[in-house]
């Protein structure tokens, strides 16, 4: 090797500040001063009616990457030269290259710029993001509402730190964010991702057939993501999507476990495992997998979004590791030898997720981030969250009328109108 491990590690650390300077964004709430997560700025930049769809695109690209990766790996599996691993590794650099180039053209979050006091740049960023999609009045209303929300948040709390996540109304918001991200693991997704191929092989499929079914399931997941985005945009609210997903996923897990119990080792059991795994992949990606990131990012305040979402995602990865670490003890023949009956645990876990979604998670569809802040600051209950009449829209309209010299005599009411 030309460079040792120490040199490689030190070189990476030296390169990171420059990388963050170019591709990250300054964030005073982070110990390093920068953040580089995608869901946070996406949630802040997206308009209220498209926020769920735009943040959920994360799941779509994950599925696209998995499909392409599986196809490339399958195509090179029989090669005996260096290209057998160089080609799959090389494909990993294609998308990051385009992303790195595209990041130079992505405008900064207007809310972040406002929070830093750079009003002119924030307004320009919002104009770039909205383009010609809004009328002048609609743009001015969104701008005034955004400014008002940031000002009120600054007045309410002047400090930014990890302990602030657990103070006052922020505690409820932080716990909701943590709980929603944790339901990704609670739904059993990491169990299915890690061990569905293993179950198919144990059930009697060849390695090649098991691999092909895994790719098929990933394709079903891709279809599910797009189906879920349509539901969130046109049919259901976030809360309903999450609850529907918990029911569908729980039924798929239960079906898998029951088939392994009543017909273990038979062709019927094998087919049931394949079928219920496919149903799970579709339903998870369409519901919980699609809605968790949009909903979690909406739960927290602007000034603490980096801390809350970042630590919640860290919790999610820890739970994913814990699932991967513990699952072999349940399914391996040398240990408990539960096999697919291990899915009983995940069926119960999905029931717990359903209870959590019903009792704790409020509906935020169609609300601006400033409206959501007002709802949490007023300690509105889950039951009343959807119908509560916010005042920030009316106040923004009043400020807009005042700044326009009172030319508009008839203003919209303060009542928030949900999307159909």
Q: What is the pLDDT of residue 40?
A: 63
- Checking if the pLDDT of 366 tops 70, the result is yes
Most confident of 38-52, 185-199, 238-252, 379-393: 238-252
Strand partners, 35: 25
Residue 55 lies in a domain: yes
The closest of 180, 179, 166, 169 to 307, measured between CA atoms, is 166
- Please give the distance of CA 366 from its chain centroid, rounded to a whole number: 17
Residue 4 lies in a domain: no
Q: Residue 288: which pLDDT band, with cuts at 50, 70 and 90?
A: very high
CA torsion 236-242-243-248 (nearest 10°) is 100
For the chain, helix, strand, coil in percent to 5 are: 75, 0, 25
Residue 114 lies in a domain: no
Min mean pLDDT across 32-36, 72-76, 304-308 is at 32-36
Q: Residue 358: which pLDDT band, with cuts at 50, 70 and 90?
A: very high
329-344: per-residue pLDDT in tens?
888 888 888 888 899 9
When divided into structural domains, the chain yields a total of 1
Residue 274 lies in a domain: yes
Domain span at 240: 17-106+163-360
* Mean pLDDT score of the chain: 80
11-35: per-residue pLDDT in tens?
444 444 444 444 444 444 444 444 4
Residue 386 lies in a domain: no
The CATH number of the domain where 266 resides is what? 1.20.1250.20
- Checking if the pLDDT of 269 tops 90, the result is no
Residue 193 lies in a domain: yes
Residue 9 lies in a domain: no
Q: How many Cβ atoms from other residues are within 10 Å of residue 86's Cβ?
A: 12
Residue 93 lies in a domain: yes
């Amino acid at each position: 090797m030309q460079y040792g491990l120490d040199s490689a590690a030190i070189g990476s650390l030296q390169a990171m500040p420059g990388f963050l300077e170019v591709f990250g964004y300054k964030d005073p709430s982070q110990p390093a001063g920068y953040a580089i997560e995608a869901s946070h700025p996406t949630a802040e930049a997206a308009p209220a009616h498209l926020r769920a769809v735009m943040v959920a695109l994360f799941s779509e690209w994950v599925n696209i990457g998995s499909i392409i990766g599986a196809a490339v790996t399958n195509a090179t599996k029989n090669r005996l030269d260096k290209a057998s691993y160089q080609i799959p590794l090389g494909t990993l650099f294609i998308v990051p290259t385009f992303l790195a180039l595209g990041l130079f053209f992505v405008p900064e979050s207007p809310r972040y710029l406002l929070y830093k006091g750079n009003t002119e740049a924030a307004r320009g960023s919002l104009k770039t993001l909205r383009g010609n999609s809004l009328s002048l009045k609609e743009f001015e209303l969104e701008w005034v509402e955004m400014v008002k929300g940031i000002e009120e948040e600054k007045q309410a709390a002047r400090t930014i730190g990890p302990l602030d996540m657990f103070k006052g109304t922020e505690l409820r918001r932080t716990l909701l964010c943590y709980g929603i991200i944790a339901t990704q693991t609670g739904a059993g997704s990491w169990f299915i991702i890690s061990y569905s191929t293993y179950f198919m092989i144990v059930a009697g499929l060849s390695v090649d057939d098991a691999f092909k079914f895994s790719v098929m399931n990933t394709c079903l997941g891709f279809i599910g993501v797009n189906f879920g985005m349509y539901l969130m945009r046109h049919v259901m609210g976030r809360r309903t999507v999450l609850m529907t997903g918990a029911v569908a996923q729980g039924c798929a897990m239960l079906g898998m476990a029951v088939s392994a119990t009543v017909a273990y080792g038979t062709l019927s059991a094998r087919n049931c495992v394949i079928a219920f795994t496919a149903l799970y992949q579709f339903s998870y990606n369409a519901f919980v997998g699609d809605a968790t990131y949009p909903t979690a990012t909406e739960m927290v305040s602007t000034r603490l979004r980096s801390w809350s979402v970042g630590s919640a995602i860290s919790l999610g990865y820890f739970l994913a590791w814990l699932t991967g670490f513990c699952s072999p003890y349940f399914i391996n023949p040398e240990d408990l030898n539960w096999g697919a009956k291990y899915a009983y645990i995940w069926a119960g876990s999905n029931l717990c997720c359903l209870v959590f979604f019903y009792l704790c998670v409020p509906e935020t569809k169609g609300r601006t981030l400033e409206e959501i802040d007002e709802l949490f600051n007023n300690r509105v209950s889950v039951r009343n969250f959807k119908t509560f009449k916010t005042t920030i829209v009316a106040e923004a309209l009043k400020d807009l009328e005042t700044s326009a010299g009172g030319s508009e005599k008839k203003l919209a009411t303060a009542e928030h109108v949900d999307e159909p």
